[in-house]
Amino acid sequence: MKGFENYKVKNFTFTSSSDETIPLSKLENDLILKDILNSNLQLNKYTNIISSLFCIYQAFAPDDIYCNYPEKKVMRRKTKVMEIYMNLDYYKFLEADKEQAKQMMSELYLKGIEKYLVGRKDFKGKEFYSDVKQLFEKHNLISKD
């Protein structure tokens, strides 16, 4: 998982990694989330410290070498990129259809915002969470509460 430290991007970026049992069509949902966020939100509305929020979804079988890779956030101060590593539930994701997989990824992104961004002094996390949640509801990525 090395190599992201020099990755210069702006706004919102997503990628996914998994073993070969997860169909690529499910993993490509990250591109949909990226397009929706970049078309509707600007990260600089919420922070002037972070230039890109990079979400890395991980879905590995329990016996895979990468299975125990922890969920975490990493701040690359030189490039102002914050990476958030999020673990999808492997078995649920494997069994999910494409729409369910998209919903799982959307919900996990919101959980990541709550866990890593809400409460930061240099980030308007509550406002960001609210805006992303409304956007995901509007695009039927998550169910409305």
pLDDT tens by residue, 101-111: 999 999 999 99
pLDDT at 9 over 90: no
The reply to whether 140 falls in a domain is: no
The reply to whether 126 falls in a domain is: yes
The reply to whether 77 falls in a domain is: yes
Q: Which domain holds residue 97?
A: 7-135
pLDDT at 21 over 90: no
pLDDT at 1 over 70: no
How many structural domains does the chain have?
1
pLDDT at 5 over 80: no
pLDDT tens by residue, 81-90: 999 999 999 8
* DSSP structure string for 39-103: HH--GGGT-SS-SEEEEEEEE--TTSTTTTPPPEEEEETTTTEEEEEEE--HHHHHHS-HHHHHH
The reply to whether 13 falls in a domain is: yes
The reply to whether 141 falls in a domain is: no
Give pTM, 2 decimals. Answer: 0.88
